[in-house]
A and B are shown apart, each in its own frame.
Chain A
Amino acid sequence: MSTPTVDAAEPASKIDLNESGEGAGAVESFEITLKVRRYDPERAEDAWWDEWQLTMYGTDRVLDALHKVKWEIDGSLTFRRSCAHGICGSDAMRINGRNRLACKTLLKDLDTSKPILVEAIKGLPIEKDLIVDMEPFFQSYREIMPFLVNNSPAPTAERLQSPEDRARFDDTTKCILCAACTSSCPVFWTDGQYFGPAAIVNAHRFIFDSRDDAGDMRLEVLNDKEGVWRCRTTFNCTDACPRGIEVTKAIQEVKTAILTRSL
Chain B
Amino acid sequence: MTTANSEAVLPAQGIEAPRSGRIDPKYLRRSSSTSGSFEMAAWLFMRVSGAALVVLIFVHLWVNLMVGDGIHQIDFAFVAGKWANPVWQFWDLTMLWLAMLHGTNGMRTIINDYAEKDSTRMWLKSILFLSATVIIVLGTMVIFTFEPCLMNEAGELMERAPSFCQSAVQ
Contact = CB atoms under 8 A, between A and B. Distances in A.
26 contacts: A125-B24, A133-B19, A135-B23, A136-B27, A192-B26, A193-B27, A223-B36, A223-B37, A223-B39, A223-B40, A224-B29, A224-B32, A224-B36, A225-B34, A225-B35, A225-B38, A227-B36, A229-B42, A230-B112, A230-B113, A232-B109, A255-B43, A258-B40, A259-B40, A262-B37, A262-B40
Interface of B: 19, 22-24, 26-27, 29-30, 32, 34-40, 42-44, 109, 112-116
A230 B32 CA distance: 14
A92 to B, nearest CB: 18
Contacts of A135: 19, 22-24, 27
A121 to B, nearest CB: 14
Nearest to A195: B29
Contact of B39 (A136, A190, A192, A225): A225
Interface in A200-257: 223-227, 229-230, 232, 255
B120 to A, nearest CB: 11
Contacts of A187: 113
Contacts of B22: 135
A262 B34 CA distance: 17
A190 B22 CA distance: 21
Nearest to B31: A225
Contact of A193 (B29, B43, B109): B29
Given A223-B40, A262-B37, A190 B114 contact: yes
A232 B40 CA distance: 13
A191 B24 CA distance: 12
A229 B47 CA distance: 13
A135 B22 CA distance: 8
Contact of A226 (B23, B29, B43): B29
A255 B114 CA distance: 22
B36 A225 contact: yes
A262 B35 CA distance: 14
Nearest to A187: B113
A71 B77 CA distance: 81
A115 interface: no
Contacts of B109: 232
Nearest to A192: B27
Given A133-B24, A136-B27, A187-B113, A259 B37 contact: no
B116 A136 contact: no
Q: Counting chain A CB atoms within 10 Å of each CB, which of B36, B38, B112, B115 scores highest?
A: B36
A136 B24 contact: yes
A246 to B, nearest CB: 20
Nearest to B18: A135
A186 interface: yes
Interface string A78-107: 000000000000000000000000000000
A139 interface: yes
Contacts of A133: 19, 24
